Chain A
Amino acid sequence: GAVVSQHPSWVICKSGTSVKIECRSLDFQATTMFWYRQFPKQSLMLMATSNEGSKATYEQGVEKDKFLINHASLTLSTLTVTSAHPEDSSFYICSARDLEGNHYEQYFGPGTRLTVT
Protein backbone atom coordinates (compact mmCIF):
# COMPACT_ATOMS: atom_id res chain seq x y z
CA GLY A 1 0.00 0.00 0.00
CA ALA A 2 0.88 3.67 -0.16
CA VAL A 3 3.37 4.88 2.40
CA VAL A 4 3.63 8.29 4.01
CA SER A 5 6.64 9.18 6.12
CA GLN A 6 7.18 11.97 8.60
CA HIS A 7 10.40 13.40 9.91
CA PRO A 8 11.30 13.74 12.66
CA SER A 9 9.28 11.19 14.61
CA TRP A 10 9.79 13.20 17.75
CA VAL A 11 11.40 16.50 18.63
CA ILE A 12 12.05 18.53 21.75
CA CYS A 13 12.63 22.23 21.37
CA LYS A 14 12.89 25.28 23.54
CA SER A 15 10.16 27.86 23.79
CA GLY A 16 10.56 30.56 21.14
CA THR A 17 12.35 28.42 18.58
CA SER A 18 10.95 27.07 15.31
CA VAL A 19 10.52 23.46 14.30
CA LYS A 20 10.03 22.05 10.81
CA ILE A 21 8.18 18.78 10.23
CA GLU A 22 8.34 17.01 6.89
CA CYS A 23 5.66 14.83 5.35
CA ARG A 24 6.55 12.71 2.32
CA SER A 25 4.57 10.37 0.13
CA LEU A 26 7.09 7.67 -0.70
CA ASP A 27 5.54 5.73 -3.55
CA PHE A 28 2.79 7.92 -4.89
CA GLN A 29 2.09 11.50 -5.84
CA ALA A 30 -0.12 13.63 -3.64
CA THR A 31 -1.52 16.92 -4.83
CA THR A 32 -3.21 17.32 -1.49
CA MET A 33 -1.86 16.70 1.98
CA PHE A 34 -3.54 17.37 5.29
CA TRP A 35 -2.08 18.37 8.62
CA TYR A 36 -3.74 17.29 11.84
CA ARG A 37 -2.97 17.86 15.49
CA GLN A 38 -3.88 15.51 18.29
CA PHE A 39 -3.71 16.34 21.99
CA PRO A 40 -3.57 13.52 24.55
CA LYS A 41 -6.74 11.44 24.69
CA GLN A 42 -8.39 13.63 22.10
CA SER A 43 -9.16 13.10 18.46
CA LEU A 44 -7.43 14.46 15.42
CA MET A 45 -8.15 18.07 14.63
CA LEU A 46 -7.62 19.25 11.08
CA MET A 47 -5.26 22.22 10.99
CA ALA A 48 -4.88 22.87 7.29
CA THR A 49 -5.11 21.49 3.80
CA SER A 50 -1.93 21.72 1.79
CA ASN A 51 -2.13 21.92 -1.98
CA GLU A 52 0.89 21.50 -4.22
CA GLY A 53 1.94 24.75 -5.78
CA SER A 54 -0.57 26.93 -3.96
CA LYS A 55 -1.27 28.40 -0.55
CA ALA A 56 -2.56 26.18 2.20
CA THR A 57 -6.12 26.44 3.44
CA TYR A 58 -6.26 26.82 7.19
CA GLU A 59 -9.10 25.78 9.48
CA GLN A 60 -10.78 28.34 11.64
CA GLY A 61 -8.73 29.18 14.71
CA VAL A 62 -5.40 28.02 13.26
CA GLU A 63 -2.88 30.83 12.90
CA LYS A 64 -1.36 30.70 9.43
CA ASP A 65 1.57 32.88 10.47
CA LYS A 66 2.43 30.52 13.28
CA PHE A 67 1.98 27.26 11.39
CA LEU A 68 3.70 27.73 8.05
CA ILE A 69 2.90 25.15 5.42
CA ASN A 70 4.82 24.63 2.21
CA HIS A 71 3.85 22.04 -0.40
CA ALA A 72 6.66 22.46 -2.89
CA SER A 73 6.35 19.17 -4.73
CA LEU A 74 3.92 16.33 -5.30
CA THR A 75 5.66 14.25 -2.65
CA LEU A 76 6.61 16.72 0.06
CA SER A 77 4.78 19.05 2.41
CA THR A 78 6.36 20.78 5.39
CA LEU A 79 4.84 22.26 8.52
CA THR A 80 6.91 24.79 10.43
CA VAL A 81 5.84 25.70 13.94
CA THR A 82 7.24 29.17 14.49
CA SER A 83 8.02 30.65 17.88
CA ALA A 84 6.88 27.48 19.58
CA HIS A 85 5.29 27.59 23.02
CA PRO A 86 4.58 24.79 25.49
CA GLU A 87 0.91 24.79 24.47
CA ASP A 88 2.03 23.78 20.96
CA SER A 89 3.25 20.47 22.37
CA SER A 90 1.19 17.87 20.58
CA PHE A 91 1.17 14.95 18.15
CA TYR A 92 1.23 16.26 14.59
CA ILE A 93 0.05 13.90 11.86
CA CYS A 94 -0.06 14.39 8.13
CA SER A 95 -2.06 12.49 5.58
CA ALA A 96 -1.96 12.38 1.81
CA ARG A 97 -4.38 11.50 -0.92
CA ASP A 98 -3.10 9.43 -3.83
CA LEU A 99 -3.51 11.34 -7.07
CA GLU A 100 -4.32 8.17 -8.97
CA GLY A 101 -5.76 5.99 -6.24
CA ASN A 102 -9.21 5.55 -4.75
CA HIS A 103 -10.81 8.93 -4.44
CA TYR A 104 -11.69 8.36 -0.85
CA GLU A 105 -8.60 6.89 0.70
CA GLN A 106 -6.11 8.91 2.70
CA TYR A 107 -2.83 7.57 3.96
CA PHE A 108 -1.53 8.77 7.29
CA GLY A 109 2.04 9.34 8.30
CA PRO A 110 3.36 7.90 11.57
CA GLY A 111 3.15 11.27 13.31
CA THR A 112 5.59 13.64 14.95
CA ARG A 113 5.52 14.20 18.67
CA LEU A 114 6.54 17.75 19.50
CA THR A 115 7.47 18.76 23.03
CA VAL A 116 8.19 22.42 23.72
CA THR A 117 10.02 23.12 26.96
Chain B
Amino acid sequence: GQNIDQPTEMTATEGAIVQINCTYQTSGFNGLFWYQQHAGEAPTFLSYNVLDGLEEKGRFSSFLSRSKGYSYLLLKELQMKDSASYLCAVRGISNSGYALNFGKGTSLLVTP
Protein backbone atom coordinates (compact mmCIF):
# COMPACT_ATOMS: atom_id res chain seq x y z
CA GLY B 1 0.00 0.00 0.00
CA GLN B 2 0.93 3.64 0.00
CA ASN B 3 0.98 6.23 2.76
CA ILE B 4 1.18 9.85 1.66
CA ASP B 5 1.48 12.68 4.19
CA GLN B 6 1.28 16.41 3.68
CA PRO B 7 0.32 19.30 5.96
CA THR B 8 -3.38 19.99 6.22
CA GLU B 9 -3.24 23.77 6.01
CA MET B 10 -0.77 26.53 5.29
CA THR B 11 -1.02 30.29 5.14
CA ALA B 12 1.29 32.64 3.28
CA THR B 13 1.41 36.26 2.20
CA GLU B 14 0.94 37.54 -1.32
CA GLY B 15 4.30 37.90 -3.05
CA ALA B 16 6.05 35.48 -0.72
CA ILE B 17 7.41 31.97 -1.28
CA VAL B 18 5.83 28.86 0.21
CA GLN B 19 7.02 25.27 0.31
CA ILE B 20 4.55 22.41 0.66
CA ASN B 21 6.12 19.15 1.76
CA CYS B 22 5.00 15.62 0.98
CA THR B 23 6.38 12.37 2.34
CA TYR B 24 5.40 8.99 1.07
CA GLN B 25 5.90 5.33 1.72
CA THR B 26 5.23 2.99 -1.13
CA SER B 27 5.86 -0.59 -2.10
CA GLY B 28 6.86 0.58 -5.54
CA PHE B 29 7.44 3.99 -7.10
CA ASN B 30 6.66 5.15 -10.59
CA GLY B 31 6.40 8.91 -10.31
CA LEU B 32 5.17 11.69 -8.04
CA PHE B 33 2.68 14.32 -9.10
CA TRP B 34 1.45 17.63 -7.79
CA TYR B 35 -2.02 18.90 -8.60
CA GLN B 36 -3.84 22.10 -7.78
CA GLN B 37 -7.53 21.93 -6.93
CA HIS B 38 -9.88 24.81 -6.34
CA ALA B 39 -12.99 24.11 -4.31
CA GLY B 40 -15.62 22.25 -6.30
CA GLU B 41 -13.39 21.83 -9.32
CA ALA B 42 -11.30 19.05 -10.77
CA PRO B 43 -7.55 18.90 -10.09
CA THR B 44 -5.21 20.49 -12.58
CA PHE B 45 -1.76 19.10 -13.27
CA LEU B 46 1.19 21.08 -11.94
CA SER B 47 4.25 18.86 -12.04
CA TYR B 48 5.69 15.38 -12.37
CA ASN B 49 8.91 13.98 -10.91
CA VAL B 50 10.25 10.50 -11.45
CA LEU B 51 13.98 11.17 -10.99
CA ASP B 52 15.67 12.91 -8.07
CA GLY B 53 16.08 16.62 -8.34
CA LEU B 54 14.27 19.83 -9.03
CA GLU B 55 11.81 20.47 -11.84
CA GLU B 56 11.07 24.12 -12.48
CA LYS B 57 8.08 25.46 -14.36
CA GLY B 58 7.53 29.17 -14.06
CA ARG B 59 6.53 30.14 -10.53
CA PHE B 60 6.18 26.50 -9.54
CA SER B 61 8.99 24.06 -8.79
CA SER B 62 8.88 20.52 -7.52
CA PHE B 63 11.62 18.51 -5.87
CA LEU B 64 11.98 14.78 -5.36
CA SER B 65 14.24 12.60 -3.25
CA ARG B 66 13.38 8.97 -3.82
CA SER B 67 15.76 7.69 -1.15
CA LYS B 68 14.03 9.84 1.45
CA GLY B 69 10.51 9.36 0.13
CA TYR B 70 10.18 13.12 0.07
CA SER B 71 8.96 15.80 -2.27
CA TYR B 72 8.10 19.44 -2.04
CA LEU B 73 6.23 21.94 -4.16
CA LEU B 74 7.64 25.45 -4.16
CA LEU B 75 5.43 28.36 -5.11
CA LYS B 76 7.11 31.70 -5.74
CA GLU B 77 5.67 35.20 -6.02
CA LEU B 78 2.43 34.06 -4.51
CA GLN B 79 -0.78 35.46 -5.92
CA MET B 80 -4.23 35.51 -4.39
CA LYS B 81 -5.42 33.06 -7.02
CA ASP B 82 -2.93 30.51 -5.70
CA SER B 83 -5.26 29.94 -2.75
CA ALA B 84 -6.30 26.34 -3.36
CA SER B 85 -5.71 22.80 -2.24
CA TYR B 86 -2.47 21.21 -3.40
CA LEU B 87 -2.51 17.46 -3.82
CA CYS B 88 0.53 15.21 -3.76
CA ALA B 89 -0.02 11.95 -5.62
CA VAL B 90 2.14 8.90 -6.11
CA ARG B 91 1.94 6.31 -8.83
CA GLY B 92 3.06 2.92 -7.66
CA ILE B 93 4.45 0.14 -9.74
CA SER B 94 1.68 -2.16 -8.55
CA ASN B 95 -1.05 0.17 -9.72
CA SER B 96 -2.90 -0.89 -12.79
CA GLY B 97 -3.07 1.50 -15.70
CA TYR B 98 -1.08 4.30 -14.07
CA ALA B 99 -3.68 5.15 -11.42
CA LEU B 100 -2.67 7.69 -8.80
CA ASN B 101 -2.87 7.56 -5.03
CA PHE B 102 -3.48 10.97 -3.56
CA GLY B 103 -2.54 12.51 -0.25
CA LYS B 104 -5.21 14.38 1.67
CA GLY B 105 -4.13 17.69 0.22
CA THR B 106 -2.76 20.91 1.67
CA SER B 107 -5.12 23.85 1.78
CA LEU B 108 -3.13 26.99 1.06
CA LEU B 109 -4.50 30.39 1.95
CA VAL B 110 -2.78 33.41 0.44
CA THR B 111 -3.42 36.61 2.36
CA PRO B 112 -2.92 40.21 1.20
CB neighbours of A34 from chain B (8 A) = 97, 99-100
Interface presence of A87 (CB below 8 A)? no
Quick one: which of A43, A104, A107 contacts B102, CB cutoff 8 A? Answer: A43
Question: In the bound complex, how far is the Cα of B33 from the Cα of A107, in angstroms?
Answer: 12
Interface presence of A44 (CB below 8 A)? yes
A108 lies within 8 A of B98 (CB): no
A111 lies within 8 A of B97 (CB): no
Question: In the bound complex, how far is the Cα of B37 from the Cα of A42, in angstroms?
Answer: 12
Interface residues on A, range: 20 to 34
Interface residues on B, range: 20 to 34
Question: In the bound complex, how far is the Cα of B44 from the Cα of A43, in angstroms?
Answer: 14
Question: In the bound complex, how far is the Cα of B103 from the Cα of A44, in angstroms?
Answer: 8
Interface presence of B101 (CB below 8 A)? yes
Quick one: which of B45, B97, B102, B104 contacts A105, CB cutoff 8 A? Answer: B45
B45 lies within 8 A of A93 (CB): no
Interface presence of A8 (CB below 8 A)? no
B44 lies within 8 A of A97 (CB): no
Question: In the bound complex, how far is the Cα of B52 from the Cα of A12, in angstroms?
Answer: 46
CB neighbours of B109 from chain A (8 A) = none
Question: In the bound complex, how far is the Cα of B78 from the Cα of A32, in angstroms?
Answer: 35
Interface presence of A49 (CB below 8 A)? yes
Quick one: which of A51, A93, A109 contacts B97, CB cutoff 8 A? Answer: A51
CB neighbours of B91 from chain A (8 A) = 104
A32 lies within 8 A of B98 (CB): yes
Question: In the bound complex, how far is the Cα of B98 from the Cα of A113, in angstroms?
Answer: 25
* Interface of chain A residues 69 through 113 with chain B (CB within 8 A): 91, 93, 97, 103-111, 113
Question: In the bound complex, how far is the Cα of B8 from the Cα of A103, in angstroms?
Answer: 30
Interface presence of A117 (CB below 8 A)? no
Residues of B within 8 A of A (CB): 31, 33, 35, 40-45, 48, 50, 87, 91, 96-105
Could you pull out 21 A-B pairs where Cβ atoms are within 8 angstroms? A34-B97, A42-B104, A43-B87, A43-B105, A44-B43, A44-B87, A44-B100, A44-B102, A45-B102, A49-B96, A93-B43, A97-B97, A103-B98, A104-B48, A104-B50, A104-B98, A106-B100, A108-B35, A111-B41, A111-B42, A113-B40
